[in-house]
Structure 1
Amino acid sequence: MKKLFCLFLLINTFVQSQVKNPIKWEFEIHTLQQNQYEAVFTAFIEKGWHLYSKDIKVENAIPTTFTYPKNPNVKLLGNTKEIGKKIEEYSDVFEGTLVYLSNKVEYRQKFEVTGNKPIKFEAEVEFQICNDKVCLAPDGESFSRTVKPENIDELRSSVSSQAIDNKENHSQLNASEVVDKEDIINVNKDNIVIPSLDINNPINKACGEKIIQDEGFLWIFIFGFISGLIALLTPCVYPMIPLTISYFTKQAKNKKQGKKDALIYAFFILLIFLLFTLPFHLINGINPDIFNQLSTNIGLNLVFFIIFIIFAFSFFGYYDITLPSWMVNKSDKASETGGVIGLFFMALTLVIVSFSCTGPVLGSILAKAIQNPTQLTMAFGGCGLAWALIFGGFALFPQFLHNMPKSGGWMNTIKVVLGFLELALAFKFLSKADLVAKTFFLKREIFVGIWILIALAIVLYLLGVIKFPHDDKKAKIGSGRKVWAGIFTIIGIYMIPGLFPSDKPNLKLMSGLTPPLNISIYHKENEKGVLGLNIIHDYNQALELAKKENKPILIDFTGYGCENCRKMEEYIWSNPQIWQILNTEFIIASLYVDDSELLPKEEQKVVDLKEGRKRKIKTIGKKWSTFQRENFNTNSLPFYVLITPDNKILNFPVAGYKNKNDFQNFLQCGFKTFKELKNKQ
């Protein structure tokens, strides 16, 4: 029971986990001699936390790394030195010796400035911080100071004699003494943090707040539950149900004990599914939008595309995907210990052995819920609960086992159909990567055409025209297969209008799954606004236009990979009444937080964040995601804010998918508030 208590303690730890920032950085520049300096980066670490050394050699452990953007007028002298008390400790997990530092750590880098003009010295650090229980997500910090070589003598004279004599006889310059005033102005011009955007005190507090929706955890849970039921019908899992329940009812000393063991076994199945999501909670912390970044990462979506293609052909029967045999053997051997621990490892063995069929299903859950670790837990919890109820239910009422259909060819049919669905999902991930990369080669009509072909292939398979390796060559086409063939025929016919040009949504049931309407072979310009609306993609440009036309602004935080954003546009924005309001009464600023395009070189600047940290913004998406997080304390998509041309929030923002009435009320309330302000002026 002690081990069980530890498992519950772990679950309690990640459920209650909160965003932490147990490290603070300070940056100074010391003058050594004419044109030579030393940059000093000091990390102050909270008690109980530690920072991995820059010299760590263990694979998978993340060392502290300093990088210095190239500057023709800056010459680095030697390598970055790490100063602090190093602790070495062997880790069974990493199978190597970890080297880390705690409390206070200094990093020193000497450099030389060539020429007599002021230069900007820049540095970036990437690091990971841990304690004895968790590691926070890898994070970084950016540093920037302007140094004026021609003013060295003046700077030296301004430093007190005490500062000159300290620390290796270096002349220490306070950070504020080497920062150019013009540099500070440039940072503030980025408009990342705007004090007047007070999310807690909009002008009108009577509307908006009450209709903000939650994260949709219930639907994610239901999705996971249904996926779990589908996985139970696959050849890897279905035959295990009668075999496993029979074991408990026959091997136990009495029926009561058999039922008790089977219920504990079912509970462990649910627990194992939940524990699979534990690492995603332990990577919480410093960077709140890390899961948004993961879900819209081009490389990750391409990896998902390849994986789902591999899963699809595995379901077709061309090969099997299994976990390593040593993993199965170890788990199976541990299950022989008996008692509660033995039951736990029996459940783990079931999950591992079933991986070849459940992996693709769980992969789709992972891909759907990766934006939020709590969503992931709900999805896996739903899947695990489906299994637990089936195994637990048959344990309580074993007589129902006799009514179960026999294992046979129908399970292979389900598996092949799932293979086709995996193939369709693969192109969904390819589409998301295409949208985020802004290559736009997978047009809406091409995407819909591929899905129509997949629907047609399913119909032909169900009618026996197409065969796969494990199909019975002389199988009869029953009424069940004919009914499902009819359903997929209807689905294929429904998608046909998506092949033709349209300025209005023509596949509303597939909103969020297909590329947007403006990503079309019939449009010459892919950047044309959705639904014919005049949409601006830069906040500052929207402000200028709003001042010129004296209109309020709708800030639409969106993403190329955001399904709910597309649903809002195609279901809600397309409504004639709402479209008219958007088209005539508001300036629309759609800010894409997953836009991977690099900002112009002059706009790639270090910006000040609320918590006193600095970060270099390099991409358009990073700029707007930081803007959203810093001003509105959220990274939800879609997220809508109504503001005045002088940067004041009209009413409470709303997040997530809205129904027509709620969104229309939100817009009308904000516009009415703006008109009342105009009348008072």
Structure 2
Amino acid sequence: MKKILWIFILITGFIKAQIENPIHWKSEIKHLKDKEYVAIFTANIENHWHLYSADAEEGIVIPTTFTFIPNSNIKLIGKTQEVGQKIKEYSQAFKANIVYYKNKVEYHQKFEILKDIPLNLEADVDYQLCNDKICLSPDGESFILKIEPEKNLTVSKQSNNDINKIVSPSENIVKDTFNSKNNPEIEEVKIISNTSDSVNKNIIIANLDVDNPINKECGDKIIQNEGYLWIFIFGFLGGLIALLTPCVYPMIPLTISYFTKNSNKNGKRDALIYAFFILFIFIIFTLPFHLINGINSDIFNQISTNVWLNLAFFIVFIVFAFSFFGYYDITLPSWMANKSDRASESGGILGLFFMALTLVIVSFSCTGPVLGSILAQSIQNPTQLTMAFSGCGLAWALVFGGFALFPNLLKSMPKSGGWMNTIKVVLGFVELALAFKFLSKADLVAKTFLLKREIFIAIWIIIAFATALYLLGLIKFPHDSKKSKIGTSRKVWSCLFILIGIYLIPGLFPSQKPNLKLLSGLTPPLNVSIYKKDKEQGTLGLSIQHDYFEALKIAKEQNKPILVDFTGFGCENCRKMEEFVWSEADIWQILNNDVIIASLYVDDSESLPEEEQIVVQLKDGRNRKIKTIGNKWSVFQKENFNSNSQPFYVLVTPDNQILNYPVAGYMKKEDFKNFLHCGIQTFKNLKK
């Protein structure tokens, strides 16, 4: 219950979370004695907001925690201490004690340096802010402080204020706000500067201006709608399929009977309101994901390409599949349905809302896997998720609202029966196939490359033929009748799945050209194959660099433009572009002969060398710790090209000038060819 309440609070804070930043951090280091120092992190909190203490009960609220990056030359002394006016009170909302600070709090961490040399102290803080109405989503900050040991520096208490210095990330110094009046025992003071000189190196390129390319006359921006229409249609079809499951279909006549009992006028009005509430509830479910997107513009890409999350999706979809096979049911807690059902009896508009909510809750055992599939497919973009859920909700609203307006249509509906269980089991096979898609994505992002393309395809072939055998009655599940008759429709559908299996078979054999183009983006890429020993072999045999600056050197040597390809291991549209468009003979020739390709993977989880793990100050003033290759290229794309979508293509000269407008997303061959010709011709004209 506490977790549900917490989620609700996060949802209600959706709008505020996108624009509020009511906390300001300052950091400093002071010399205590000999080789002992103290790092002080000060949080200045705006009025009406509070910051949770490290002593807060985890699972109820988000405690403030400091993590110090290990350094063999620095020894931490004790735990991080909080200095401020701590407030402890009992929360009726959480049914627990909460501990927090208002206005200002300092965090002190003592440490000892083991070598008398300049060192860096690196720390990350994770925290959450709330006021009396909303909570902002969990946030964080990174600090790098430079320690420059200096002996025999003693400052009297009276002169402390004279040596205070102000800092911003760009000024490379730290503001000393530590007042000796509060710490009279400290007499030796050393102001330590921040190591921002390495910040932004090789990340922000000053002369890259995405809005002012050299040639504005050709290669106009391709306006991307991110496939919203297709995502909406996908959700709509998913909603229609869910309506045919045994959890939902029998509820149609039961629900419609409520409206037929009312007067004709009120019945039609209530039917429209009821249909609206169904759609509204589906949309409401997506608000938390917009909240997450408001925190960090590339968070959805990070989530969708997270190895552990994709492994979790793999397990969840296996669980969904066996639920559809009839071995168990997945349901929401009964108390949710009971409370919603009782609330629906109140009548009026509020009663209609709870009727719609009850419908969604009690049908969860069948719709949950369908909605889960939509969620997993749409998680790269919250707007796509809203469009998908809107499509699903609209399908339900049209069916339930339509039958409520015209109850005579119920007579034409087929009766409930075993056919609904057949649909449910077939959906189980679909869920099983999708499970391996997420296992493949985890495998690609982790760069283990264990699930080869041919193995993946073989699994799908087995699933396709198993589905056909089930439809022919040769495989039985718990809810199937042992003496059920196999009708014509089941035989027709079994033939369809047999054809799918046959279509997949060529994918088991090596081919110079991409096959199975209809499944491009779903199957592992061509170079993850049992027939190719070198897992790093370039896509389609092209020579591809994976570092922008290495590509820049080659471009200068060969006097060619660079095609910057922002991509991802888990990016389906990137694979589609490579297998549908790049593989075309004329496009391949251009890519092979006229440009230097730099494919930058924004979801590469491999850690950068320690010396390259830096903190970058973003355009919005926030600091971002760059730890992995994916972090580096994700920030590189966002800060230089104002985009965080993939695929994203830019043509750049060897001296870092953008040739024409970038393009994004999956596009037709001719559009991509025009983009390439435009930029390459512009580059050739520059050389004349």
Instruction: Label 1:444 to 1:87 Cα distance change in 2 as closer, same or farther (>3 A).
Output: same
One of 172, 182, 198 as aligned partner of 2:209: 198
One of 627, 630, 637 as aligned partner of 2:646: 637
| 1:115-157 Cα deviation digits (max 9, x unpaired) | 32222222111122344554444332221122222x3446969
CA contact 2:267–2:405 (8 Å) conserved in 1 = no
CA drift of 1:280 comes to 1.8
Instruction: Label 1:91 to 1:378 Cα distance change in 2 as closer, same or farther (>3 A).
Output: farther
The 2-side partners of 1:525 and 1:21 are apart by 48
The 2-side partners of 1:666 and 1:60 are apart by 52
Instruction: Label 1:363 to 1:593 Cα distance change in 2 as closer, same or farther (>3 A).
Output: same
1:145 corresponds to 2:145: yes
Instruction: Label 1:302 to 1:587 Cα distance change in 2 as closer, same or farther (>3 A).
Output: same
One of 336, 341, 360 as aligned partner of 2:369: 360
The 1-side partners of 2:309 and 2:213 are apart by 38
1:267 corresponds to 2:296: no
CA drift of 1:604 comes to 2.3
Instruction: Label 1:129 to 1:162 Cα distance change in 2 as closer, same or farther (>3 A).
Output: closer
The 2-side partners of 1:324 and 1:209 are apart by 53
CA drift of 1:635 comes to 1.1
Matching of residues 418-457 of structure 1 within 5 Å: 418-457=427-466
CA contact 1:452–1:495 (8 Å) conserved in 2 = yes
SS of corresponding position for 1:347: helix
The 1-side partners of 2:83 and 2:406 are apart by 66
| 1:588-637 Cα deviation digits (max 9, x unpaired) | 11111111111223322333333333333221111111211222222101
Q: Which residue number corresponds to residue 603 of structure 1?
A: 612
CA drift of 1:114 comes to 2.4
The 2-side partners of 1:270 and 1:172 are apart by 66
Q: In proportion to residue count, which structure has more helix? A: 1
One of 669, 675, 678 as aligned partner of 2:684: 675
The 2-side partners of 1:583 and 1:135 are apart by 52
Q: Which residue number corresponds to residue 587 of structure 2?
A: 578
Matching of residues 538-557 of structure 1 within 5 Å: 538-557=547-566
1:278 corresponds to 2:287: yes
CA contact 1:137–1:284 (8 Å) conserved in 2 = no
Q: Which residue number corresponds to residue 27 of structure 2?
A: 27
CA contact 1:77–1:109 (8 Å) conserved in 2 = yes
Instruction: Label 1:317 to 1:260 Cα distance change in 2 as closer, same or farther (>3 A).
Output: same
CA drift of 1:161 comes to 5.2
Q: Which residue number corresponds to residue 243 of structure 1?
A: 254
Q: Which amino acid aligns with 1:110?
A: K
Give the TM-score, by structure 2 length: 0.91
Q: Which residue number corresponds to residue 488 of structure 1?
A: 497
Instruction: Label 1:527 to 1:368 Cα distance change in 2 as closer, same or farther (>3 A).
Output: same
Q: Which amino acid aligns with 1:370?
A: I
My pick for the range that moved more, 423-432 or 347-356, is 347-356
| 1:503-547 Cα deviation digits (max 9, x unpaired) | 321111111000000000000011111111111111121111111
Q: Which amino acid aligns with 1:574?
A: S
1:220 corresponds to 2:231: yes
Q: Which residue number corresponds to residue 106 of structure 1?
A: 106
CA drift of 1:35 comes to 2.1
1:503 corresponds to 2:502: no
SS of corresponding position for 2:493: helix
The 1-side partners of 2:655 and 2:29 are apart by 39
CA contact 1:124–1:141 (8 Å) conserved in 2 = yes
Q: Which amino acid aligns with 2:437?
A: K
Q: Which amino acid aligns with 2:38?
A: E
CA drift of 1:63 comes to 1.2
My pick for the range that moved more, 36-45 or 12-21, is 12-21
The 1-side partners of 2:161 and 2:479 are apart by 83
Matching of residues 399-418 of structure 1 within 5 Å: 399-418=408-427
Q: Which amino acid aligns with 1:672?
A: Q
CA drift of 1:575 comes to 1.2
1:289 corresponds to 2:298: yes
One of 327, 333, 346 as aligned partner of 2:342: 333
CA drift of 1:336 comes to 2.0
SS of corresponding position for 1:285: helix
CA drift of 1:580 comes to 0.8
1:371 corresponds to 2:386: no
CA drift of 1:249 comes to 0.6
CA drift of 1:567 comes to 0.5
The 2-side partners of 1:82 and 1:420 are apart by 54
The 2-side partners of 1:612 and 1:163 are apart by 28
Matching of residues 176-187 of structure 1 within 5 Å: 178-179=193-194, 184-187=196-199
My pick for the range that moved more, 614-623 or 10-19, is 10-19
The 1-side partners of 2:230 and 2:519 are apart by 17
The 2-side partners of 1:222 and 1:246 are apart by 29
The 2-side partners of 1:105 and 1:325 are apart by 44
CA contact 2:128–2:139 (8 Å) conserved in 1 = yes
Q: Which amino acid aligns with 2:343?
A: A
Instruction: Label 1:74 to 1:506 Cα distance change in 2 as closer, same or farther (>3 A).
Output: same
Q: Which residue number corresponds to residue 3 of structure 1?
A: none
Matching of residues 113-132 of structure 1 within 5 Å: 113-132=113-132
Q: Which amino acid aligns with 1:217?
A: Y
Matching of residues 58-69 of structure 1 within 5 Å: 58-69=58-69
Instruction: Label 1:82 to 1:12 Cα distance change in 2 as closer, same or farther (>3 A).
Output: closer
The 1-side partners of 2:614 and 2:101 are apart by 30
CA drift of 1:73 comes to 2.4
SS of corresponding position for 2:100: strand
Q: Which amino acid aligns with 1:145?
A: L
Q: Which residue number corresponds to residue 6 of structure 2?
A: none
1:323 corresponds to 2:332: yes
CA drift of 1:404 comes to 0.4
The 2-side partners of 1:423 and 1:260 are apart by 42
RMSD of equivalent CA atoms: 2.4
The gaps in structure 2 that reach 5 residues or longer are 1-9, 164-178
Instruction: Label 1:58 to 1:123 Cα distance change in 2 as closer, same or farther (>3 A).
Output: closer
Q: Which residue number corresponds to residue 162 of structure 1?
A: 161
CA contact 2:293–2:300 (8 Å) conserved in 1 = no
The 1-side partners of 2:512 and 2:130 are apart by 52
1:515 corresponds to 2:524: yes
CA drift of 1:644 comes to 1.1
| 1:437-467 Cα deviation digits (max 9, x unpaired) | 1111110011111111111111111111112
My pick for the range that moved more, 662-671 or 15-24, is 15-24
CA contact 2:40–2:106 (8 Å) conserved in 1 = yes
Instruction: Label 1:20 to 1:574 Cα distance change in 2 as closer, same or farther (>3 A).
Output: farther
The 1-side partners of 2:47 and 2:298 are apart by 26
The 2-side partners of 1:95 and 1:222 are apart by 43
| 1:458-480 Cα deviation digits (max 9, x unpaired) | 11111111121211222222221
My pick for the range that moved more, 20-29 or 344-353, is 20-29
| 1:276-310 Cα deviation digits (max 9, x unpaired) | 11222233433211111111111111111111111
CA contact 1:221–1:381 (8 Å) conserved in 2 = yes
The 2-side partners of 1:470 and 1:547 are apart by 67
| 1:388-430 Cα deviation digits (max 9, x unpaired) | 1101101111111001000011111111110100000000111
The 1-side partners of 2:16 and 2:131 are apart by 16
| 1:181-216 Cα deviation digits (max 9, x unpaired) | xx5554454x11111112222222223443131222
My pick for the range that moved more, 528-537 or 31-40, is 31-40
CA drift of 1:19 comes to 5.3
My pick for the range that moved more, 432-441 or 116-125, is 116-125
The 1-side partners of 2:188 and 2:264 are apart by 80
Q: Which amino acid aligns with 1:319?
A: Y
My pick for the range that moved more, 107-116 or 507-516, is 107-116
Q: Which residue number corresponds to residue 395 of structure 1?
A: 404
The 2-side partners of 1:56 and 1:154 are apart by 39
Q: Which residue number corresponds to residue 473 of structure 2?
A: 464
The 2-side partners of 1:161 and 1:210 are apart by 57
